[in-house]
Amino acid sequence: MKKYKRLIIILNLALFLLYFNYLIFQKEDLLDSGQLVLLKLAPVDPRSLMQGDYMSLRYDIPAKFDFAKLSERGYCVVRLDEYGVAALIRFQEDITPLGSGEYLIKYALVDKWNLKFGAESFFFQEGQSQKYEVAEYGGLKVDDNGNSLLSGLYDKYKKKIN
């Protein structure tokens, strides 16, 4: 094998590993230092949504709003109650303005009726679906820029389902 090919193979591997582990670091950082926000799951009969090894999620907040006036991408501003459950305050296009006690969650408009935060399904091992049927809240970890990561499902006592 020619020498430059060797170098390119190594270079590609190195670039990939750098990028991939940076992604992992980013997510871990968000999980460690992000603020936990509980979003009420929309009552769309969770049992029928069980499909093999994942559960599709719909959050309750956006359901009450008229999306026609919203821009394609933006931020959802929420305020938390004492248990960490989010209540929607408003939608906005930029990360500012932001009052104290308010948190940002980045959203994207799927179509005229649906918003997504990037975590619309929850994956788990096969055969574990019963455990997750009692889920009432989706727990998102959010950072100051509105990036969010689904960290787990929570039951009605706001306890994480493990």
Partner 1 sequence: MKNIQREDIHLISQHSNLTQEDIEKSLESNVYNSKEAWLSFFRLLLGSLAVGLTVSGIIFFLAYNWAGLHKFVKLGLTEGLLIAVTGLVLLAKIDTNTRNLILTGASFLIGALFALFGQIYQTGADSYNLFLAWTIFITLWVAISDFAPLWLLYIILVNTTLLLYIQQIAKNLPDSLIFDLLLILNSIFLISGILISRKNKAITIPTWFLNTLALACAAISTLGISIGILDHHNLILLILISLVAILFALGIWYALKINSIFYLSLIAFSLIIIASSLLANILDNEIMFLLVGVFIASSITLTVRFLLILQKKWAHEN
| Of 22 and 102, CB closest to partner 1 | 22
Q: What single letter denotes the amino acid at residue 14?
A: A
| Minimal distance, residue 15 CB to partner 1, in Å | 7
Cβ(60)–Cβ(41) under 8 Å? yes
| Minimal distance, residue 109 CB to partner 1, in Å | 9
| Minimal distance, residue 99 CB to partner 1, in Å | 29
Residue 40: what are its φ and ψ, rounded to 5°? Answer: -65, 130
Which residues form the interface with partner 1 (CB under 8 A)?
Answer: 1, 5-6, 8-13, 15-17, 19-21, 23-24, 27, 54, 111, 116, 118-123, 125, 128, 149-151
Q: What residues contact 133, with CB distance under 8 A and at least 6 apart?
A: 46, 47, 50
What's the rounded Cα separation, in Å, for the pair 150 and 139? 6
| Of 13 and 87, CB closest to partner 1 | 13
